[in-house]
C-alpha cells in the first residue's frame, strides 16, 4: 500500500478575501502543500496558531488593522521555529530588509506568478531564505550605499508605524481614514504625521502629502 505523503500546512494572513481565496486554491493544488486557514486579522492569526501550529505562515505586510512587520516580529518571538514568508505589493528593499530583520525567512511580491510564490514557500519550508533576484540586488545596494532616496530624504529614520501612516497618505487616505484603517485615534495619527514631517525636514503638510504620493508611486513602479 502506497502511503500518501503528509502535506505541509500553511496559514495565510491577509485582509483581501478575494486574493486570499485565490492564493489558497492555487497553493492547495500542489501535491505537498495545503492552506488550512486564511485569517484576515493579526488577532485571528494568533488564535489559530495557538490552537494548531502550522508548518508555515504567510503574512501580508499591509494588514488593515495592524502592521505586518510587527506581527512578524511578535510571531518570531513567540514561535521561533515557525517559518514566516512575507507577501508585499511593494517592490522596495526597505520593506524587505525590515521584514527579514523582524524574523521573516522570505519576501515575495504579490504580483509575482503563483509558481514563484510556491517556490518561495518551498524554499522557506526547507530552511532557506527567499528573495527575488531584484530584491537581493536592491538589498545589497542598500547595504553598500545607505544613501538617501532619489527624493532627497531617507526613510530609514521612520518607525514601522510612521511608514504605514506615510504609505496610506500616499495612497490618498485622509487622517480619519488612516485612523480607522490602523485602529488608531485621530490624535495619534496627527502625532505620527508631525513626526514624519519633522524627520523628513518637510515644512508644510502639502509637501508631506506630495512626498508620500511620490514615494508610493516609486515603490509600485
**Domain contains 1:** no
Last residue of a domain, one of 142, 175, 198: 142
Which tens digits make up the pLDDT trace of 135-176?
887 777 766 665 555 555 677 788 888 988 998 999 899 999
Instruction: List the single range of 59-63, 120-124, 154-158, 188-192 with lowest mean pLDDT.
Output: 154-158
Last residue of a domain, one of 114, 142, 170: 142
180: its cell numbers: 480607522
Q: What is the mean pLDDT of residues 206-212?
A: 90
Same domain, 34 and 122: yes
Last residue of a domain, one of 142, 173, 193: 142
**Domain contains 150:** no
Report which of 51, 181, 182, 25 is spatially closest to residue 118, judged by C-alpha positions.
25
What is the number of other CB atoms lying within 10 angstroms of the CB of residue 208? 19
Is 119 in contact with 90 (CB distance < 8 Å)?
A: no
Same domain, 77 and 178: no
Q: What are phi and psi of 138, to 5 degrees?
A: -65, -40
Is 15 in contact with 43 (CB distance < 8 Å)?
A: no
Q: What is the CATH number of the domain that holds 71?
A: 3.40.50.2300
What is the number of other CB atoms lying within 10 angstroms of the CB of residue 73? 19
Is 44 in contact with 20 (CB distance < 8 Å)?
A: no
Which pTM does this prediction carry? 0.75
Domains in the chain, number: 2
What integer pLDDT is reported at residue 1 of this predicted model? 46
Q: What is the CATH number of the domain that holds 216?
A: 1.10.10.10
Instruction: Give the confidence band of 103 by pLDDT, cuts at 50, 70, 90.
Output: very high
Q: What are phi and psi of 52, to 5 degrees?
A: -155, 105
**Domain contains 3:** no
What integer pLDDT is reported at residue 215 of this predicted model? 84
Same domain, 59 and 128: yes
Same domain, 134 and 65: yes
Which tens digits make up the pLDDT trace of 34-89?
999 999 988 999 999 989 899 999 999 888 777 888 899 999 999 999 999 999 88
165: its cell numbers: 501612516
> What residues make up the domain containing 208?
155-220
Average pLDDT, the chain: 86
Is 59 in contact with 68 (CB distance < 8 Å)?
A: yes
**Domain contains 128:** yes
Same domain, 127 and 36: yes
What integer pLDDT is reported at residue 192 of this predicted model? 94
Amino acid at each position: 500500500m502506497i502511503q500518501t505523503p503528509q502535506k505541509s500546512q500553511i496559514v495565510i494572513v491577509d485582509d483581501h478575501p478575494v486574493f486570499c481565496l485565490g492564493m489558497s486554491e492555487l497553493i492547495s493544488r500542489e501535491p505537498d502543500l495545503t492552506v488550512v486557514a486564511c485569517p484576515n486579522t493579526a488577532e485571528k492569526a494568533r488564535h489559530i496558531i495557538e490552537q494548531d501550529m502550522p508548518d508555515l505562515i504567510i503574512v501580508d505586510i499591509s494588514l488593515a488593522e495592524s502592521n505586518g512587520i510587527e506581527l512578524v516580529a511578535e510571531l518570531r518571538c513567540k514561535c521561533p521555529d515557525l517559518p514566516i514568508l512575507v507577501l508585499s505589493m511593494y517592490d522596495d528593499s526597505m520593506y524587505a530588509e525590515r521584514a527579514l530583520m523582524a524574523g521573516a525567512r522570505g519576501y515575495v511580491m504579490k504580483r509575482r506568478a503563483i509558481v514563484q510564490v510556491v517556490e518561495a514557500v518551498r524554499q522557506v519550508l526547507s530552511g532557506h531564505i527567499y528573495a527575488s533576484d531584484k530584491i537581493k540586488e536592491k538589498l545589497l545596494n542598500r547595504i553598500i550605499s545607505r544613501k538617501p532616496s532619489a527624493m532627497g530624504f531617507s526613510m530609514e529614520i521612520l518607525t514601522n508605524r510612521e511608514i504605514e501612516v506615510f504609505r496610506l497618505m500616499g495612497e490618498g487616505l485622509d487622517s480619519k481614514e488612516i485612523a480607522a484603517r490602523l485602529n488608531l485615534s485621530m490624535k495619534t495619527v496627527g502625532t505620527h504625521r508631525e513626526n514624519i514631517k519633522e524627520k523628513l525636514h518637510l515644512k508644510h503638510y502639502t509637501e508631506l502629502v506630495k512626498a508620500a504620493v511620490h514615494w508610493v508611486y516609486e515603490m509600485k513602479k
